[in-house]
Structure 1
Amino acid sequence: MSDIINSQEYQSFRCSVPLKKIIVDDDNSKEWSLYDAGPKSIKCPLVCFPPASGQADIYFRQILALSAVGYRVISVEYPVYWTMKEFCEGFRKLLDHLQLDKVHIFGASLGGFLAQKFTEFTHRSPRVASLILCNSFYDTSIFQQSATAPTFWMMPALFLKKMVMGNFEKGMVDTEIADSIDFLVEKLDHLSQQELASRLTLNCMNCYVEPQKIQAQAIPITLMDVYDDCALSSAVKDEMIKCYPDATRASLKSGGNFPYLSRSGEVNVFLQIHLRKFIETVYNCKEETQDEIMAAAAASSSSQDS
């Protein structure tokens, strides 16, 4: 087992935050898995979309840290969907089931691409309050697998896993990045052939984002990336910036493919900075903690005294 899975932090997460299973489609085999932490009174939470290789628990450090200071965080794991329309309709049904009108979405790699496509899909009746896109992309042609993507459904799981692992760092990396890779490799082993094939199909089939449909909604966007090696080239990152010229940049000096694990402290700060602007709006996803209530009361009392 990886060091992260054996850590007290991860074990505490698994003991304190239950994994929920929800079916929203007519097909009973399409089951969403999710962790939902923080105050349920919040109706515009942060929803986390994992990359192709991850399960919902890869965001456990965001769930623990942010829910501890009053944020509601939901991390989801996708059912087997083979088309983008099917995925978007399924996620909209999940939001309806959870009685959530709008959400903030934090998506990494494939998760970021799916977040953009869902925002685009619902542009006539918006369901997304903001986006945080980590090491993500807007056009699947960068993977040069559009021609073979329709055959992923019948390829052996071992072959598909090798495809994914080919994008992981191979050189010398620091302990935190190495631990994050080990953790994702272990998560990869828990995905069935159909789960992995469907995610890679969504990741590689001929598809691209229409950024104008997202920009027209005037939602805040943060582009999060790393300066060290990751699966995406500098050219892909530059294209994302061109797509969203008004987006906030959140760049980490290092972190590899999975900075939410290897540099969770920095990522959590960037997430809070992004979400802070919504605190006094209807799209707030944070409930004031007792300490914050007391601090606000003390500040108000002090101003009245003076």
Structure 2
Amino acid sequence: MIYANLFYWSANQYVIQRTLGVKNLAEGQKGVLVSGFYKLLVPVFMLIPGVIAFHLYGDSLRSVDLAYPALISEILPGYLSGFFLAVLLGAVFSSFNSILNSAATLFALDIYKPRINPEANDQKLISVSKWFGTLLAIVSLFISPMLMNASEGLWDLIRRFTGFFNIPIIVIVLVGIFTKFVPAIAAKVIIVFHVITYYMLVWGADQLFGFTVPIHFIHIYAILFVIEVTLMLVIGRIKPRKYVYQFKTVPKVEMIPWKYALPISVILLSAVAIAYVTFSPAGLAYKNGIVSPVYWTIIGGIIIITAAIS
């Protein structure tokens, strides 16, 4: 989960495009940290309703995707159904538009301009982005009905498919940050290696040979992460770059960091730790009462450490 979240928060164009568009570094840091605090509400908005639905319906629902709609239809007053649908569709379309914009941006700047039309100006790139986004939206509309056949739910299917690219991308980013001699061919090798290996472990072994690999796909993330980092370092050792890589930055905005970025980051990390402990067997999942006897000791320790570091 750590590796998947590292990719999502630091290398996913769908997420970081908002940060890349800020007017200066300080504003970007503020936006990231504020969104991190909002993310702490996920257990309240997503996980607790799921637990409630499980206790109400058990395994009686045809798909886990029906848990939330069934809960809403039973609990929410009828006169608020339309309002709730509007809110839900607004959230869905917001995410959908963000994904289309991200894909169109990547196509225009990473494929069209460098490989198809190097002389394209900004107006041409915007036009190409619009056409590509429209085409992608149409394709998505035809593919989306097939998602109803996802046996273990849409969320699980999406997480499995993101495994094709999240781990190799974050491996390349981290190795690129912490090393200076690993050549570009190493990145290309692990991309091909990951796509083939991940497919075989998650789907291919069952479809082609009739046996299932008894490892959860999240654990496969971790296994492949370690293997691919090692593989890149080995390639870098066997065939290192001729010259030390030097990162050259040409900032177009003010790069003065926000003076409260570090203490707020520490507070945010502490809040994540508190949320984890709260929903763990030491907290609300404690079987013999509301919380365990050590719960408040742990929370107090986290607060004291946070105050000392900040």
| Fold shared, TM-score > 0.5 on shorter chain | no
TM range (shorter): under 0.3
Where relative contact order (Cα < 8 A, 6+ residues apart) is larger, the structure is: 2
TM-score by length of 1: 0.25
TM-score by length of 2: 0.25
Indicate the structure with greater strand content.
1
Q: Pick the structure with greater CA Rg.
A: 2
